[in-house]
Amino acid sequence: MDSETKNIIDQLRALEERVSVLERQTRGNISRRVVAEKKDKYTGPTGGIKFLVNKRFFKEKRDLGMVRKELQKNNYHYSRQSVDAALKRLTRQNGPLVVLKEKGRKQYVERK
């Protein structure tokens, strides 16, 4: 082998080593991220509402204001628009909640 070919082979080996180090680091970060996601099951406005669903808060009809107050009691502080958007997502077909209109106001309750 001439010196140029030897130099290219050495460079390739060095690059392979660097890639393998990066792959090990990345795999470690992914597994840590998955563990963190499992711990923080109820994050964001949707997570806060899911938390309330699991606490059976929606056993009775609740309006947006009541939902926001209960979220704030549990340290979920979000704007009216954010909570409303999360409620809309959770009232879609097969979602845990259903929306009813009474006296022009939306009421949210557990889906049976």
pLDDT digit string, tens, across residues 37-55: 444 678 899 999 999 999 9
pLDDT digit string, tens, across residues 47-87: 999 999 999 999 999 999 999 999 999 999 999 999 999 99
Please give the structure tokens belonging to residue 112. 């049976």
Is pTM beyond 0.85? Reply is no
Percent of the chain, pLDDT > 70?
A: 88
For residues 63 and 107, the answer to whether their CB atoms sit within 8 Å is yes
Average pLDDT of the residues of the chain: 86
pLDDT digit string, tens, across residues 3-38: 889 899 899 999 888 888 888 777 655 544 444 444
Q: What is the pLDDT of residue 29?
A: 55
C-alpha span between 46 and 51 (Å, rounded): 9
CATH code matching the domain that covers 44-110, chosen among 3.40.50.2000, 3.40.309.10, 1.10.10.10, 1.10.287.1080:
1.10.10.10
Residue type, position 49, single letter: I
Farthest CA pair distance, the chain? 88
